[in-house]
Structure 1
Amino acid sequence: MAGNSRRRGAIRKTGTKKGAVAGSGGQRRRGLEGKGPTPRASMRPGHPAQRRATAQAKAAQRRSKDKPTSELVAGRNPVVECLRADVPATALYVQLGVDADDRVTEAVRLAADRGISVLEVAKPELDRLTGGALHQGLSLQMPPFEYAHPDDLLEAAAETAEPPLLVALDGVTDPRNLGAVIRSAAAFGANGVLLPQRRSAGVTAVAWRTSAGTAAKLPVALATNLTRTLRQYAEAGLMIVGLDADGSVDVDGLSLATSPLVVVVGSEGRGLSRLVRETCDETVSIPMAAGVESLNASVAAGVVLAEVARRRRAAGRT
């Protein structure tokens, strides 16, 4: 057979022998060896558990992308106002060679006094950091706001001798309104502010600045589902009162003011959502002169919270 010669000096050609011609040559024994432990269902391609695991991993990745990141405030006046309001900040970016007027000088001084890093960067780099916004050579970096859990508001209320007073916002998307509500809530003795996770303004630099720094003193919580959280508060013994132009009572007849209370403020345009309105024990309106448009959310919240505080003071004197 070619390549299989027994002649002296003959060389067997590589690759010409096709295998054992008699017996298994050990192939059967190797074929019976195990291939290792069976992989988990979530690691087997095409298995339903593997598809579920892949979907969960993608959802987790999307959630990580949705997490708040640091915010940059651009412009000389906004930066100085944030620093004056003690807005938390991690870095102040100053453009190299910028014309140092009074605002730039004050911003650098305030940042240095608070231990905030002052970094000089070239204009192209500052343009990139601010996304092309009009920065005027100044930008302030803020860390993401740390929200409380809705249960934390109840715990904060339990630590005081007064009946709990919470403020919830339903669809308020203007950060200036949010900041003003936080400021009024702190002024009139509320224990915290509750925001829905979706379709709501967040505690940004604008909201923080409008709150005049009270966002650092009053817990602000996020609710995954506002209606469900309000129902949980109701089960905990709190009365739910919603501000509504067609309320069942006006603010003068708010007898629930001295009870454990949640005041719900709706958006300026559509007011309270249907499910939130149905959750309320009572809706309250604010009497106004004829021909006057409705108040915005922050002013309406301030009026009702002031009345609640007045009634509670009066009850404490009796």
Structure 2
Amino acid sequence: MAGNDKRRGAVRKSGTKKGMVVGSGGQRRKALEGKKPTPKAENRFNHPAKRKADAQKQAQQQRDKRRREAENQGELVAGRNPVLECVRAGVPTTALYAAEGIDTDDRVTEAVRLAADQGISVVEVPRTELDRMTSGAVHQGLALRIPPYQYSEPDDLLTAARDSGLPPLLVAVDGVTDPRNLGAVVRSAAAFGAHGVLLPQRRSAGMTAVAWRSSAGTAARIPLARATNLNRTLKSLRSEGLMVVGLDADADITSDELELATEPLVLVVGSEGRGLARLTKQYCDQTVSIPMSPGVESLNASVAAGVALSEIARRRRLS
């Protein structure tokens, strides 16, 4: 009989009852309780959907890592003409890369000569390595490494302006997204005596290689700062005694009537399309327009900034 079997595993444990146990001990009630919601497929252990989601997450993390590494290393400009323009403009660079066995022409010769004169390292690399560095871009055997631009703090701009002994003049750029326009604004700001340029941290062009070329190297002589919140920074500058003047095509007065030109001033330039944002206008003490011939609606943002800064510089010279 099974109960008398002496083999291992065939002997009933002592203290147990033979047959049915009286009562269910609540097991039936537990069996009737509702279960938790079924997890989504991508959350189930070892489910194909979870493996796929994990692979996608890992790939995104790798892309983010490569992007951060690229940002820390700076920007790589590829192509003979862009490289030559950057070297001519005196854009700060860390290295000039030339492909082994490159077919030299006047552009290559001048770029290498100027780089050597400026103390820039000229590194010869295999063409396959240059292909990898430029992510397959048409580099024509030349590439230039530009380090990340070192932005100042907004407070530093005001401090430098006051230390100059002249009435502070700052230029704030409200949402200019074209780096060529940004470079041109920086160039005008440097040419007409501004003490710094203020940029929003988001939805704005940065000081890239394209902006460097457009500024003709003047970005090395005038500080740029990024504001987390441009309107809050403008409010802070107003509390420091600066007047805020915005360029607006619908303004009631023109730059010819800008009496505030000789005061401590912040000139705000709007974006290429919509101009000054509605909230930004609320933080302006005054808005001015550029006088133009009939039939012309507006000017490019950088051109308008240059015209206004020229008028401000003229009034300051005469005061």
TM-score range, shorter chain: 0.7 to 0.9
Structure 1 residues 310 and 66: alpha-carbon distance in aligned structure 2, compared to 1, 3 A threshold: farther
Provide the residue aligned with 1:120 in structure 2: 124
Provide the residue aligned with 2:300 in structure 1: 296
- Correspondence 1:1-318 to 2 at 5 A: 65=68, 68-69=71-72, 70-315=74-319
One-letter code of the match for 1:145?
Y
Once the 2 structures are TM-superposed, how far is the Cα of residue 66 of structure 1 from its aligned partner?
A: 9.3
Classify the secondary structure of the residue corresponding to 1:106.
Answer: helix
Per the normalisation by structure 2, the TM-score is: 0.77
Once the 2 structures are TM-superposed, how far is the Cα of residue 248 of structure 1 from its aligned partner?
A: 2.9
Tell me, in whole angstroms, the C-alpha distance in 2 between the residues paired with 1:182 and 1:171: 14
Classify the secondary structure of the residue corresponding to 2:139.
Answer: coil
CA deviation map 1:79-132 (0-9, x unaligned): 111111111111111011110111111111111222212111122211111111
Once the 2 structures are TM-superposed, how far is the Cα of residue 190 of structure 1 from its aligned partner?
A: 0.5
Tell me, in whole angstroms, the C-alpha distance in 2 between the residues paired with 1:288 and 1:76: 39
One-letter code of the match for 1:303?
V
Classify the secondary structure of the residue corresponding to 1:112.
Answer: helix
Per the normalisation by structure 1, the TM-score is: 0.77
Classify the secondary structure of the residue corresponding to 2:185.
Answer: helix
Provide the residue aligned with 1:15 in structure 2: none
Once the 2 structures are TM-superposed, how far is the Cα of residue 161 of structure 1 from its aligned partner?
A: 2.1
Structure 1: runs of 5 or more not aligned? 1-57
Structure 1 residues 273 and 66: alpha-carbon distance in aligned structure 2, compared to 1, 3 A threshold: farther
One-letter code of the match for 1:186?
A
In the alignment, is the contact (CA less than 8 A) between 1:93 and 1:121 conserved in 2?
Answer: yes
Tell me, in whole angstroms, the C-alpha distance in 2 between the residues paired with 1:261 and 1:129: 44
Structure 2: runs of 5 or more not aligned? 1-60
CA deviation map 1:202-250 (0-9, x unaligned): 1111111111111000000000100000000000000000000001311
Provide the residue aligned with 2:44 in structure 1: none
Tell me, in whole angstroms, the C-alpha distance in 2 between the residues paired with 1:175 and 1:78: 14
Classify the secondary structure of the residue corresponding to 2:199.
Answer: strand
One-letter code of the match for 2:266?
V
Classify the secondary structure of the residue corresponding to 1:222.
Answer: strand
Tell me, in whole angstroms, the C-alpha distance in 2 between the residues paired with 1:248 and 1:237: 23
Tell me, in whole angstroms, the C-alpha distance in 2 between the residues paired with 1:308 and 1:159: 20
Identity level (%): 69
One-letter code of the match for 1:263?
L
In the alignment, is the contact (CA less than 8 A) between 1:98 and 1:137 conserved in 2?
Answer: yes
Tell me, in whole angstroms, the C-alpha distance in 1 between the residues paired with 2:249 and 2:184: 20
Once the 2 structures are TM-superposed, how far is the Cα of residue 287 of structure 1 from its aligned partner?
A: 1.6
In the alignment, is the contact (CA less than 8 A) between 1:241 and 1:282 conserved in 2?
Answer: yes
One-letter code of the match for 1:136?
Q
Once the 2 structures are TM-superposed, how far is the Cα of residue 68 of structure 1 from its aligned partner?
A: 3.5
In the alignment, is the contact (CA less than 8 A) between 1:248 and 1:282 conserved in 2?
Answer: no
In the alignment, is the contact (CA less than 8 A) between 1:196 and 1:226 conserved in 2?
Answer: yes
Moved over 4 A (4+): none
CA deviation map 1:10-63 (0-9, x unaligned): xxxxxxxxxxxxxxxxxxxxxxxxxxxxxxxxxxxxxxxxxxxxxxxx9xx99x
Between 66-75 and 280-289, report the one with greater CA deviation.
66-75
